[in-house]
A and B are shown apart, each in its own frame.
Chain A
Amino acid sequence: SQTIHQWPATLVQPVGSPLSLECTVEGTSNPNLYWYRQAAGRGLQLLFYSVGIGQISSEVPQNLSASRPQDRQFILSSKKLLLSDSGFYLCAWSAPRGKNTEAFFGQGTRLTVV
């Protein structure tokens, strides 16, 4: 069966510090991968999505970046965090091309920038 791992679960970082959140998927090949951010009490904002290694689509022009160094690994990064980067970050995957299935989410990372 497929599983998705996301870590860390909680993170407190000072303004201006770097960020690296990692997400890995097991049990499937060539998944579509996503990063979402959810501000407190708000909806899910799509940040990045990827349909293959090295293929990253950015939805939000901010100080965040994403990389997919391996088929089932998706990394969200920042060189310098802003207070506005605080939120609940969710990684998700869906079945690869040709199939219409739902998104499966990791457990999320709660990031607080202080």
Chain B
Amino acid sequence: QQPVQSPQAVILREGEDAVINCSSSKALYSVHWYRQKHGEAPVFLMILLKGGEQKGHEKISASFNEKKQQSSLYLTASQLSYSGTYFCGTEIHPGTYKYIFGTGTRLKVLA
């Protein structure tokens, strides 16, 4: 039931790009993306509510393909501050408020 993220981990040099994928075996009605720094609570990045919707946040953007039941997070020209673990989150069924997270992707940006 938990969305699967890929890759599990990625190491980048500053300025490089990365893509993180989130795939669900069940229908996705909305997707949220979060970043968690080591030892801290996750912080919300963005929400995608409609299939095909794309959003951006600084140099971080995301897309949502409702038909394929997946979402992707794009990090361009990565900065050291982008390091952390990224999670996609979703509500299992609209209106249930049962909110679960994907398996997580550890991202490390090196100078």
CB within 8 Å of B: which residues of A? 32, 34, 36, 42-44, 46, 49, 51, 57, 59, 90, 92, 94, 97, 100-108, 110
Contact = CB atoms under 8 A, between A and B. Distances in A.
Given A43-B103, A43-B104, A102-B47, A108 B41 contact: yes
Interface of B: 2, 30, 32, 34, 39-44, 47, 49, 87, 89, 91, 94-95, 97-104
B99 A94 contact: yes
Nearest to A38: B36
A68 to B, nearest CB: 13
B24 to A, nearest CB: 14
24 contacts: A43-B101, A43-B102, A43-B103, A43-B104, A44-B101, A44-B104, A46-B98, A49-B97, A90-B42, A94-B99, A100-B49, A100-B91, A101-B47, A102-B32, A102-B34, A102-B47, A102-B89, A103-B32, A103-B42, A103-B89, A104-B44, A105-B43, A107-B41, A110-B39
